């Protein structure tokens, strides 16, 4: 399924990934969510995408935890909820997921779903930078500007 997905053979990918997802494989569940999100091999459905992301995230898959956080942040397939977004971003960050780190830093930086804390924002952004995330570097520049450095 993953090979078909990466080669944009979405019809075959979806069928194979769905079978693995139904067997409980978290990475496959994340990919099925992506298929529903993007309409790859299946009709787009934000609610089904969110459900699959949640199944994967609840099994501890860090990529899906970030996805669930982002869904809550933008209201994709679920009612927008910044507090829940922060919770899921932080779960991903605790596993050193670079997007989880970036977005946890963002939440602390701007007070999204959590009280603003520039020190923690810098800590999370810096951890994302160490993993090679260039957006986190840009956010650090913004943070330093906001702090008056």
- pLDDT, one tens digit per residue, over 23-33 is 999 999 999 99
Rounded distance between C-alpha atoms, residue 69 and residue 3, angstroms? 26
pLDDT digits (tens, 9 = 90+) for 31-64: 999 999 999 999 999 999 999 999 999 999 999 9
* Residue 100 in tokens: 């989880």
User: Over the chain, what is the mean pLDDT?
Assistant: 97
What was the pLDDT predicted at 9?
95
Express as a percent the part of the chain with pLDDT over 90.
99
pLDDT reported for residue 142: 97
Is-above-0.85 flag for pTM? Answer: yes
- Contact between residue 85 and residue 107 where contact means Cβ atoms under 8 Å apart: yes
pLDDT, tens digit, 9 for 90 and up, residues 111-135: 999 999 999 999 999 999 999 999 9
């Amino acid at each position: 399924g993953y090979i078909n997905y990466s080669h944009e053979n979405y019809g075959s990918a979806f069928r194979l990934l769905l079978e693995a997802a139904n067997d409980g494989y978290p990475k496959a569940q994340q990919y099925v969510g992506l298929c529903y999100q993007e309409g790859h091999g299946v009709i787009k459905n934000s609610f089904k995408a969110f459900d699959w992301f949640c199944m994967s995230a609840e099994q501890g898959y860090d990529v899906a935890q970030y996805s669930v956080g982002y869904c809550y942040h933008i209201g994709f397939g679920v009612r927008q909820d910044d507090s829940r977004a922060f919770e899921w971003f932080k779960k991903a960050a605790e596993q050193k997921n670079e997007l989880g780190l970036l977005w946890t830093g963002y939440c602390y930086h701007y007070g999204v779903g959590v009280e603003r804390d520039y020190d923690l924002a810098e800590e999370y952004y810096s951890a994302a930078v160490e993993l090679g995330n260039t957006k986190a570097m840009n956010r650090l520049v913004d943070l330093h500007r906001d702090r008056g450095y």
